[in-house]
Amino acid sequence: MRGTRSSRSLWQAGLHGHTGHGPAFWQAIYDAETRPGWDMDGPTPLLNELLDMVRTLGLDPGPELAVPGCGFGHDAAELARKGFRVTGVDFTEAALEGARTRYGDLVTWRREDWFEGATTFDALFDDTCFVAMPPEARPAYVAACARRLRPGGLWLGAFFHTVKDPSGPPYPIAPESLRGLAEKDFQILHLAPAEHSHPRRAGREFLLVARRN
């Protein structure tokens, strides 16, 4: 801990950007904590669960894949090791500095607002980025994901249906509520409870695989 305020107290301070929680909000958390509370110090075990699932859909190593809200880059680096061409996106410089320190140039690191970027990808992996957004930002976030995927591209995600403090972040969402948000732009291929969550998150996550229309 580098400061006196926990990530929870900083969340409750309500530092808002145009997406609900802007760069200053997240930078303050990184400034306060050497390792923020959402960081698992390694890739989520759900990554392998999702990749096993989508191999039958043709997502083998090689395609260009984005990790929005990549944080310290654990998931992005693991995907790169598996053969994907990965871009880790975050709009907080502290997150990207931590990612570069840990993983060097294994991944293309890009400081960017996911809502505003123009580069498109074959797939995206979302672990805790969607759920970090306040509920009012969800439609815009889903629209951004659709816009940044090429036709037929896959959105792979892990989401919380239950959290310890619903005032968030992270913010919970029911699977059917996510379906309702996504089905305008996506074909839902899988929406079910996660089976291999990190022990700290066991029983609280579900997985999405969706194909852009």
Give the per-residue pLDDT at 30: 67
How far apart (Å, rounded) are the C-alpha atoms in residues 161 and 146? 22
Ordered mean pLDDT values, 10 residues apiece, the chain (213 residues): 35 38 67 65 88 87 92 95 96 90 97 93 94 90 96 95 83 96 97 84 87 95
Closest CA to 196 of 27, 11, 48: 48
Q: Which residue ranges form the domains of the chain, and what is each CATH number?
A: 41-212 (3.40.50.150)
pTM: 0.83
Give the per-residue pLDDT at 101: 95
Give the per-residue pLDDT at 170: 87
Give the per-residue pLDDT at 19: 44
Tell me the β-bridge partners of 85: 64
Q: Which helix (H) or strand (E) holds 210?
A: strand 205-212
**Chain centroid to CA 125: how far?**
6
